[in-house]
């Protein structure tokens, strides 16, 4: 937890602090105005950006999001040294959501509204984050090629599990290359690339007094909005295996913020990355190189996950092709 003078910070707020409890990502404050959370932001620009999109989202009509409480001087946040500090209400009773088509549709609408709010901010550049993703994808592909080549040269002709793993490496590399190439597709234009969170997950949702509640994002890793959507859909499908909920989410999203062919291309690029396969193979080759005991069970599990992801990819690619008819002729 960051070291700041909490007593001095709390004096800026109207609430009288009774007790302070450090948590993993914030301080829980018991005050005469109810429980509050005090968050310390490593980056002030990200805090300012986060304040702006939350306020715009509330003005759009979705107010069930953690908004920043103003200080005695009516400031929405404080800057202490090189860090930012915000206070929000703490919801004690957050119930888990019951996933289903209606829930997915409502989530899609809210995220569409959130992304519209975020893209209005000039504070952070979406194209800069897309370039970071492109550089990162190329770097991982280069790294994968190196360890795959070294492994295949040494163990590619050995019988059994090692040969099987060596044969799996080429399709893995092809997927990584394709994913990297898609991030530079000509249908991706600067005006459609905006900043959001790197990952939107189920943990960001809850129910408070029967209302859908959007929470978190206080120390966000940032990327582009299409990765935000891609991570949510990938995680959601791997959990529920329901393409109907995927369509419901996208239907709700597009009612608020229509997706272009370029948007779908970026989403598919992130989904196409063979995450689990890459990690499991890298770990396996490292153990072999260190002459440690190695099992292919993690690789087998990763391949099963990849089969499910492929089903999702095919479904969204078909949806993207419907969008392609509006302008771009090249298929994904």
Q: Are residues 45 and 109 in the same domain?
A: no
Which domain CATH number covers 308?
A: 3.90.1200.10
16 within domain boundaries: yes
The 3-class SS string of 24-53 reads: CCCEEEEECCEEEEEEEECCHHHHHHHHHH
Structure token digits, residue 274: 């063979």
Q: Are residues 168 and 257 in the same domain?
A: yes
CA distance 58 to 302: 40
pTM (2 d.p.): 0.91
CA distance 247 to 54: 26
Domain boundary residue, one of 89, 111, 128: 89
Q: Are residues 22 and 166 in the same domain?
A: no
Q: Are residues 67 and 125 in the same domain?
A: no
Contact 269, 179 (CB under 8 A): yes
Residue 84: give the domain boundaries. Answer: 6-89
Looking at residue 332, what is its pLDDT?
A: 47
Domain boundary residue, one of 35, 55, 89: 89
CA distance 196 to 188: 16
1 within domain boundaries: no
Q: Are residues 168 and 75 in the same domain?
A: no
CA distance 166 to 156: 5
Q: Are residues 116 and 254 in the same domain?
A: yes
Looking at residue 136, what is its pLDDT?
A: 96
CA distance 127 to 224: 8
Q: Are residues 176 and 320 in the same domain?
A: yes
* 51-69 residue pLDDT tens: 999 999 999 999 999 999 9
Listed residue (74, 56, 83) closest to 218, CA to CA = 83
Tell me what the mean pLDDT of segment 35-60 comes to.
Answer: 95
Cα-based angle 226, 114, 103 (whole degrees, multiple of 5): 90
Domain boundary residue, one of 35, 57, 89: 89
Q: Say whether pLDDT at 171 is over 50.
A: yes
CA distance 317 to 330: 12
329 within domain boundaries: no
How many domains in the chain?
2
Which domain CATH number covers 37?
A: 3.30.200.20
Q: Are residues 168 and 119 in the same domain?
A: yes
Looking at residue 258, what is its pLDDT?
A: 95
- Helix, strand, coil percentages (3-state) for the chain, rounded to 5, are 55, 15, 30
Looking at residue 327, what is its pLDDT?
A: 55
Looking at residue 2, what is its pLDDT?
A: 53
What mean pLDDT, rounded, does the chain reach?
A: 93
* 198-211 residue pLDDT tens: 988 888 999 988 88
CA distance 175 to 183: 13
């Amino acid at each position: 937890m960051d070291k700041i003078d909490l007593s001095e910070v709390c004096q800026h707020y109207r609430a009288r602090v009774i007790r302070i409890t450090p948590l993993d990502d914030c301080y829980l404050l018991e005050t005469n105005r109810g429980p509050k959370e005090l968050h310390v932001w490593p980056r002030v620009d990200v805090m300012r950006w986060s304040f702006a999109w939350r306020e715009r989202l509330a003005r759009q009509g979705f107010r069930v999001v953690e908004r920043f409480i103003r200080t005695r001087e009516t400031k929405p946040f404080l800057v202490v040294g090189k860090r930012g500090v915000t206070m929000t209400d703490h919801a004690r009773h957050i119930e888990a959501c019951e996933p289903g088509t209606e829930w997915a549709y409502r989530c899609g609408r809210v995220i569409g509204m959130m992304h519209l709010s975020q893209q209005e901010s000039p504070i952070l550049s979406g194209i800069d984050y897309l370039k970071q993703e492109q550089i990162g994808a190329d770097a991982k592909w280069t790294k994968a090629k190196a360890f795959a080549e070294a492994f295949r040269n040494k163990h590619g002709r050995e019988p059994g599990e090692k040969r099987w793993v060596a044969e799996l490496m080429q399709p893995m590399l092809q997927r990584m290359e394709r994913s990297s190439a898609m991030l530079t597709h000509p249908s991706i234009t600067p005006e459609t690339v905006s900043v959001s969170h790197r990952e939107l997950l189920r943990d960001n949702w809850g129910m408070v007094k029967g209302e859908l509640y959007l929470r978190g994002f206080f120390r966000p890793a940032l990327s582009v909005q299409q990765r935000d959507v891609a991570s949510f859909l990938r995680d959601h499908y791997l959990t529920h295996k329901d393409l109907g909920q995927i369509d419901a989410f996208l239907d709700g999203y597009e009612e608020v913020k229509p997706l272009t062919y370029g948007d779908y291309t970026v989403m598919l690029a992130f989904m196409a990355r063979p995450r689990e396969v890459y990690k499991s193979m890298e770990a396996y080759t490292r153990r072999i190189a260190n002459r440690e005991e190695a099992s292919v069970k993690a690789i087998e599990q990763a391949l099963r996950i990849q089969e499910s992801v492929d089903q999702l990819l095919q479904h969204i690619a078909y949806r993207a092709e419907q969008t392609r008819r509006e302008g771009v002729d090249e298929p994904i």
